[in-house]
Structure 1
Amino acid sequence: MKKKAIIIIGVLILFSTITFSGYSYIKVKQWDSLILPGVKIENEDLTGKTKKEAQTILNDKYSSKVLKKKITVVTDEKKYILDYKTLGAKYKVDEALQKALSYGNNMNMFEKYKAIEHPRGKQIKLTFEYNDKTVDKILKEIAKDTDKKEKNATITKVSGGEFVVTNDVIGRKLEVDKLKTNVKSKIDGFTDEDVAYIQAPVKEIKPKISKASLKTINTRISSYTTSFGSSPEGRATNIALATGSINGKLLMPGDVFSFNGVVGERKASRGYKAASIIIGDKLEQGLGGGICQVSSTLYNAMLSTSIVSVERIHHTISSGYIPKGQDATVDYGNLDYKFKNTFKYPIYIEGLLSNGNIYFNIYSSSTLTNRTYKIVNEVSEPTEPKTETIQDPTMYEGQNKIVKTGYAGFKVKVIRKTYENGNLVNTEIINKDTFRVINGVMKVGTKKA
């Protein structure tokens, strides 16, 4: 009897299992082409929906809506419409649907049945994308329309000693990176706005040279003149070219003037000619001879201001056209004359030639004229040169020839005295130079007549 009861129970269990399995199979089979219960894409519950039904729901709520959205970028001059269709903006609906439909594929029949009868829920995010390169292209077009190059004011000295100053122009620059961040924040993700407005960030760019700053140039604060009237044609040509390069040069506060930088390389192709130049301890012919008279004249014009040289070197031989110790030699690529505008006002340099003279006039604010300057040079330890005599049997007795000119040696100290409203307020040593003695060489003839 006991054995028979066990058999009956076993049969019942087997029958129940077969019945449940069959029922489960039928139940699960009904969901083969449907999205399982509890599956959501974003906030849409797609339980029991076919792929087509779910696709229709998602397209209506997301895909079709997103194509109607627009972003309006506004500048001071224009409006730009960025519609989502142009941007290639879309939700990856098919990708999300594939995840929804494949949910449960890795479950066995009983696990899937459990997921149907007792859903735990499955949340799937919609991926949003757009063409980033299209955004860049549109922003580039906006920048092209918006950007405006700043323009410096200019100053020109005209006849009568008056200055003509042109207007400066304030530039504009679209802050592309900032605008791109703003645009992306509007199109990245879900938004309920059909039209989003963005004010384009535009930065003003002030020119370095303003009309107001140039208007402070209203008076001559210094000048200096040297003569080159006896110079040969080549030397005079070089002086004219270099002076012309400097004429009209403007230096804003903090700017550094470089003679070589402004005048440029002295080349035959630029019109420079051969003339006497100091090389070492003697005079030789070379391109650009006479240029140092221009640099030295300008140097002396600047000495009668409070400007201090950044770079200045004296010749090996004292020049006759300038007081001792007040010269400034230059050699392109090697030696330069430089000074920095330490005023809070701009400086305008005028370089002129007239009747064999070089004129440099320095203009700036009239507020600087309450001070005047006196330059004094103190020469000490003069040493006269010796002359070495070389007998030359190819020359007749009584004949002689200077092979090398001798020059006296000395030390010189240049002092600048500053007067304010006529009273001495400062005395400073500008430079201390040493010119070594250069002995001469002369040939004398020994050949009998």
Structure 2
Amino acid sequence: MKRKQIRKKRIFLLTVGCLGLALFFSVKKGRPVRAQEVSYALSAAQEKEESNKIHNHVFIGTVDVSGMTAEEARGAVQAYVNQLSGDKVTLVNKDTGEKLTLTAGDFGLSWKDPDMVEYAVELGKRGNAVSRYKAIKDLNASGEHLPLSLSVDSEEIAGTLQEKCASFVSPAVNFGLKRVGSSFEITEGRAGYEIDEKKAEEAIRTALTKNWTGGDDTEIPLSVVKEEPKGNRESLEQVKDVLGTFTTSYATSGAARCKNIANGCRLINGATIYPGEEFSTLKAISPFTEANGYELAGSYLNGTVVESFGGGICQVSTTLYNACLKSELEIKQRQNHSMIVNYVKPSMDAAIAESSGKDFRFVNNTDAPIYIEGSTVGKSITFTIYGCEKRDPNREVSYESETLQTIDPVGVQVTMDATKPAGFARVTQSAHTGYKAQLWKVVKENGQQVSREVINHSSYMPAKKILTVGTAGANPASLEQLKAAVATGDEATITQAAGALASAPQTPEQTPLAAAQAAVVAANAQAQAAVQSGDPNAIAAAQAAQAQAAAALAAAQAGTQ
């Protein structure tokens, strides 16, 4: 009870003190103040302090949030921002004057500082009674206009510029050449335009976040970068001479490989390359997909031949490589195949592989444009490179392949295929001889050799012949015999053992006979290997094994009669 009396006394004294101060300041200013006015102001201050609502005459941006709770004010301001997001914004191409109308929401317009609501709620409620009284008085007199901060999203701006401003963008089209009969036609170039995305974002951000109040009359000029086309008629008129040409044959290729070669040739044909410009064969002819015109055909992979989309495409890059060599263009990237190919000599090939990044790249190191003409006729592919010939007509360039080492494949690789019937035996990949080679560039002037240099080194791995053997339906004893034959590495022995699988009995009572037959094949294989080794002891042991196997076979045959 005593505490309550003390508290009431303090409140009374505080109130009296505040009234006194208010009266003092009012009198000092020369205006008499009624006690009723001061009492009312203090009462209002106390009421607002206890309230969770925003005082009257408070605005966030242009939104009047007077008398609202924080939640209500937040909703009102957000509704206004949502309305702004739907307002129209017109982008203007500075170069052409073209206009594109979008909305502010397309650029990710949002309310940057929702915490401003909490500040609005606290207005007139901070400090002691006197300061609160003065704050409320000022609010009643002139109100409070708090800033509404807006922001835009960089990613949404970039996405909108790319997706919706396509009409502002166009790639440059270079002057080009078109082969018509035995002459060239020049195709006109066209300037290209690109939006300067950095400047565009700055312009959009400034327009929509610096005191923007909406409306449908907002226009934002965008900077557009102009890209001039490469080339001109004067430079292209120089292209008249054959700099180099080369042809390879694919007469033994199947239909799918033929189609792949023709498709790759088509994708390169007609390329115009300007001085100093680099050409990537891989970029020009990939991806190797059905949608891009390719079919499944044989290609090299880790020393084996596999089916892949675009199989045979390396003959395209190889033919182009040799045409570039004859034209003496600058070679930037060239790799040989993993195994030797049969359509050019060693070191004259150029492999392409999308998975490993193998590419054939070259640079037009002449001072005039060059034009690549590609054609396929009668299962032959030809590339001819045209340009402006400035080399001495008495100068002759040729290339010589030199084999440094030949590496013969040893043995045969056997693949046991459970999907093929017992007795099936077929060579599914021929053997490939390995080579180490290099390519010489030879230059003659007036018939006399003036230079000779090595321009590349190549290494081709040997690959064993692959023999696929069927094992479906074979009994365990026969399979063991086949494995013994495979261990010899001799193709004839393996083929014989594979053939024996077909005639080998499958019933339990015939198993001894099958085992005896397998033992004979194994003994014969052992004998053959011993003879090849030239070791007398091995030969004697093999002969003994043959005799023992023959006796066992005779006994087994007698037991089945």
TM class, shorter-chain normalised? Answer: 0.5 to 0.7
In 1, the alpha carbon distance for the partners of 2:400 and 2:192 equals 48
Match of 1:337 in 2: 360
Residue pair 2:340, 2:435 contacting (<8 A) in 1 also = no
1:445 to 2:496 alignment: yes
Matches within 5 A, 1:184-203: none
| 2:397–2:441 CA contact under 8 A, matched in 1 | yes
Instruction: Report the alpha carbon displacement of residue 313 of structure 1 after superposing the two structures with TM.
Output: 0.9
In structure 2, the partner of 1:348 is: 371
1:436: Cα distance to partner?
A: 2.5
**2:378, 2:396 → 1: CA distance?**
28
1:144-183 to structure 2, matched below 5 A, reads 152-159=174-181, 161-166=182-187
Equivalent residue, structure 1, for 2:253:
231
Partners of 1:401 and 1:209 in 2: CA distance: 57
2:432 maps to amino acid: Y
How many angstroms does 1:291 deviate by?
Answer: 0.4
Amino acid at match of 2:329: I
**1:172-209 Cα shifts (integer Å, max 9, x gaps):** 99xxx9xxxxxxxxxxxxxxxxxxxxxxxxx9975421
User: Given the superposition, is the C-alpha separation of residues 301 and 172 from structure 1 closer, same or farther in structure 2, using an over 3 Å criterion?
Assistant: closer
Deviation at residue 440 of structure 1 after TM alignment: 2.9
- CA RMSD after TM alignment: 3.5
1:268 pairs, out of 274, 287, 290, with 290
Alignment partners' CA distance in 1, 2:298 and 2:431: 16
Q: Aligned partner of 1:343: which letter? A: T
2:259–2:295 Cα contact (<8 Å) kept = yes
Provide the C-alpha distance between the structure 1 equivalents of 2:436 and 2:321, rounded to a whole number of angstroms: 19
Which residue does 1:365 correspond to in 2?
A: 388
Q: Which structure shows the bigger proportion of residues in helix conformation?
A: 2
- Kept in 1, the 8 Å contact 2:272–2:371? The answer is yes
Pair 1:378 & 2:399 matched:
no
Q: Which amino acid in 1 is paired with 2:390?
A: T
Tell me which residue corresponds to 1:279. 301
Identity of aligned residues (%): 26
Q: Is the 8 A contact 2:176 2:272 kept in 1?
A: no
Gap change, CA 1:378 and 1:247, over 3 Å in 2: same
Confirm or deny: 8 A CA contact 1:391 1:445 kept in the other structure: no
The alignment partner of 1:327 has SS state of coil
- For residue 457 of structure 2, what is the amino acid of its counterpart? K
Question: Equivalents in 2 of 1:401, 1:170: separation in Å?
Answer: 61
Matches of 1:293 and 1:150, distance apart in 2: 32
Cα distance in 1 for residues equivalent to 2:251 and 2:414: 35
Is the Cα contact below 8 Å between 2:303 and 2:461 reproduced in 1?
A: no
More relative contact order, 1 or 2 (CA 8 Å, 6+ apart): 1
Structure 2 distance, partners of 1:170, 1:275, is: 41
User: 313, 320, 334: which is aligned to 1:312?
Assistant: 334
CA distance 1:378–1:216, change in 2 (3 Å): same
Q: Counterpart of 2:269 in structure 1: which amino acid? A: N
Q: More deviation in 244-253 or 149-158?
A: 149-158
Query: CA separation of 1:204/1:421 partners in 2, compared to 1, >3 Å: closer, same or farther?
Result: farther
2:449 maps to 1:427:
no
Q: Do the aligned residues in 2 keep the contact of 1:389 with 1:444 (CA within 8 Å)?
A: no
Pair 1:412 & 2:437 matched? yes
Q: 1:303 to 1:231 in 2, by over 3 A?
A: same
Contact preservation (8 Å) 2:409, 2:434 = yes
8 Å contact from structure 1 (residues 386, 406) kept in 2: no
The alignment partner of 1:429 has SS state of strand
- Alpha-carbon distance change, 255 to 410 in structure 1, aligned in 2, over 3 angstroms: same
- 1:402 shift after superposition: 2.5
Deviation at 1:155, TM superposition (A): 1.2
The superposition leaves residues 364-397 of structure 1 with CA deviations (integer Å, 9 ceiling, x where unpaired) of: 103236343101011122122222376989755x
CA distance in 2, matches of 1:149, 1:288: 29
Displacement after TM superposition at 1:225 (Å): 0.5
Q: State the secondary structure of the residue aligned to 2:353.
A: coil
The Cα of 1:171 is off from its aligned counterpart by: 9.2
1:444–1:149: structure 2 CA closer, same or farther, 3 Å change rule?
closer
Q: How many Å apart are 1:328 and its aligned residue?
A: 0.8
Structure 2: gaps of 5 or more residues: 1-169, 200-224, 467-490, 504-561
**TM-score, with normalisation over the residues of structure 2?**
0.45
2:342 is the counterpart of 1:301: no
Q: Is the alpha carbon distance of 1:439 and 1:229 closer, same or farther for their aligned partners in structure 2, counting shifts above 3 Å?
A: closer
Structure 1: give runs of 5+ residues left out of the alignment: 1-147, 178-202
Instruction: Tell which deviates more after alignment, 379-388 or 250-259.
Output: 379-388
- Residue identity in the other structure for 2:397: Y
Alpha-carbon spacing, 1:229–1:166, altered in 2? closer, same or farther (3 Å): same
Distance 2:355 2:227 in 1: 35
Distance (Å, rounded) in 1 between the aligned partners of 2:191 and 2:306: 52
Query: Which residue identity is paired with 2:248?
Result: T
Evaluate the alpha carbon distance shift between residue 157 and residue 403 of structure 1 in structure 2; reply closer, same or farther with a 3 A threshold.
closer
The structure in which a higher percent of residues are strand is: 1
TM-superposition CA deviations, 1:264-298 (whole Å, max 9, x none): 20111222110011111011111111101111111
1:384/1:366 CA distance change after superposition, 3 Å: same
**Closer/same/farther in 2, CA of residues 377 and 389 from structure 1, 3 Å limit:** closer
> In structure 2, what is the Cα distance between the partners aligned to 1:379 and 1:270?
37
Contact 2:346 2:458 in 1 (8 A): no
* Partner SS state of residue 251, structure 2: coil
| Residues 361-370 or 212-221, more deviating | 361-370
Q: CA deviation at 1:444?
A: 1.8
